[in-house]
Amino acid sequence: MDIHAKPIGERIDWLLERAGDYSERFCSPENWLARERYLAQHPTAIAVLKCMDGRINIPVATQTPLGIIQPFRNLGGIFDLGWPHLGEVLAGYVQRRIREGRRVLLVVTYHFSRGSKARGCAGFDYDTDAARAHTRRIRQQVATVFGQAHGTVYPLVCGFETDEDALLVHGDGEAVLDLATLGADEEAALAPRLAALLPDMPEQVRADLLPLLAGNLRHVAEVRRTPRAAETEHREWMICVGRGFDFLHMPNLALIVGPYSPELAEPVATAAGIIAGNMRDRRIPGDGFLLLASVPYEEVGVDRARAELKSRFLAEFSAGVIAARHPALARGMHLRTAVLDWRSRRLEQLDAG
pLDDT digits (tens, 9 = 90+) for 182-200: 988 899 999 999 999 999 9
Span 264-286, pLDDT tens digits: 998 899 999 989 998 998 888 88
Q: What is the mean predicted confidence (pLDDT) over 76-100?
A: 91
> Model confidence at 237, in pLDDT bands (50, 70, 90)?
very high
Asked, for residue 185, whether it belongs to a domain, the answer is yes
Residues 247 and 216 in one domain: no
Q: What is the pLDDT of residue 67?
A: 84
Tell me the pLDDT band of 136, cut-offs 50, 70 and 90: very high
Give yes or no: residues 226 and 241 share one domain.
no
pLDDT recorded at residue 56: 81
Is residue 284 a part of any domain in this protein? yes
Residues 160 and 203 in one domain: yes
Residues 273 and 269: their CA atoms lie apart, in Å, by 6
pLDDT over threshold 90, residue 208:
yes
User: CB-side exposure of 232: number of CA atoms within 13 Å?
Assistant: 22
Assigned domain for 97 exists = yes
Q: What percent of the chain has pLDDT above 70? A: 95
For residue 256, is pLDDT > 60?
yes
144 exposure class (CB count in 10 Å sphere: 0-12, 13-18, 19+): exposed
Taking only the tens place, the pLDDT of each residue in 142-193 is: 999 999 989 999 999 999 998 899 999 999 888 999 999 998 889 999 999 9
In this prediction, residue 297 has a pLDDT band, given cuts at 50, 70 and 90, of very high
230, 254, 277 — which closes off a domain? Answer: 230
Decide: helix, strand or coil at residue 196: helix
What are all long-range contacts of 279-284, with beta carbons under 8 Å and residues at least 24 apart? 279/329, 283/4, 283/230, 283/233, 283/234, 283/235, 284/4, 284/5, 284/235, 284/236, 284/237
Q: Assess whether 49 and 173 both reside in one domain.
A: yes
Same domain, yes or no: 157 and 304: no
pLDDT of residue 203: 95
Share of the chain above pLDDT 90, in %: 62
Q: What is the mean pLDDT of the chain?
A: 90
Q: Supply the CATH number for residue 306's domain.
A: 3.30.1330.140
Produce one character per residue of 127-140: b if its CB has 16 or more CB atoms within 10 Å, e if not. ebeebbebbeebbe
67: DSSP letter: T
Would you state the pLDDT for residue 1?
56
pLDDT of amino acid 172: 85
Indicate the number of domains in the chain.
2
User: What 3-state DSSP class applies to 142?
Assistant: helix
**13 lies in some domain:** no
- Which domain-ending residue is among 230, 253, 274? 230
* pLDDT number for residue 232: 55
pLDDT interval class at 120 (50, 70, 90)? confident
| Confidence at residue 249, expressed as pLDDT on a 0 to 100 scale | 65
315/277 same-domain check: yes
Query: How many Å from the N-terminal Cα to the C-terminal Cα in the chain?
Result: 26
Task: Please compute the mean of the pLDDT values over residues 234-252 and round it to a whole number.
Answer: 83
Question: Does 289 share its domain with 344?
Answer: yes
Higher pLDDT, 121 or 206: 206
Q: What is the pTM of this model?
A: 0.86
Give residue 229's pLDDT band: very low, low, confident or very high (50, 70, 90). Answer: low
Residue numbers of the domain that contains 289: 234-351
Tell me which of 203, 230, 257 is where a domain ends: 230
Residue 6, in any domain of the structure: no
DSSP secondary structure letters along 277-305? HHHHTTSS-SS-EEEEEEEEESSTTHHHH
Alpha-carbon distance of 119 to 283, in angstroms, equals 14
Assess whether 181 and 307 both reside in one domain. no
